[in-house]
Amino acid sequence: MDITENTQKKENVLLGALGAFLFSLIGAVLFFVLNAIGLIESISGFVAVFAAINGYIIFGKGQSKKGVIISLIIAAVVIIVSWYLCFCITTVKQINAQAGKLPDELKYSTTFTEFFPNGFGVIAKQPDLLISLGLSLVFGALGYVSHVTGLFYSDKSKKNGK
């Protein structure tokens, strides 16, 4: 899609950012669904970025480099938050399941609200837990590279008079 002066003037960055956020939630929902059924949720990164950029275009009534960057940042934040929430939910379920198998004096259970602020400490001790998050972000980046490259390239070609 070519960027023209008229498109840039009509573009509404605030509404575009709102659209990017709302549409990127599609990727978050997919992340939760895939995580819940035990599948690799990395593909949701692609969906979140694709949906965020399209949400920006629809709500913002235009497309620009700024819009693509805003969309990518919003999608990355949504992916990271989705991953962390799924990590906390899964870990709490595992802790509570193991508690039922232990003798009374060793039993320990937790709730989501108790574990949520402490999850970062668990991740810091086991950085390999970040692999699924990294894959989701990589799929997100790869998912729309051609669109972003085309957008930047077409804008550059116009400036060079090609």
Provide, rounded to the nearest whole percent, the portion of the chain with pLDDT above 70.
80
pLDDT at 153 over 70: no
- CA atoms within 13 Å, Cβ hemisphere of 64: 18
Q: What is the pLDDT of residues 44-57, one digit of tens each?
A: 888 898 899 999 99
Q: What percent of the chain has pLDDT over 90?
A: 32
Q: Please state the domain extents for the chain.
A: 5-159
Distance CA 50, CA 145 (A): 10
Band of pLDDT at residue 58, cut at 50, 70 and 90? very high
The percent helix, strand, coil of the chain (3-state, each to 5) is 80, 0, 20
pLDDT over 80 at 105, yes or no: no
State residue 156's pLDDT score.
59
Query: What is the pLDDT confidence band of residue 100, given thresholds at 50, 70 and 90?
Result: confident
Q: Which residue type is seen at 24?
A: S
> Tell me, what DSSP letter sits at residue 160?
T
CB 26 within 8 A of CB 79: no
Residues 162, 155: Cα–Cα separation, whole Å: 10
For residue 52, give the H/E element and its range: helix 43-60
Instruction: Provide the token pair at 131.
Output: 């692999």
Mean predicted confidence (pLDDT) in 126-130: 86
Residue 7 predicted with pLDDT over 70: no
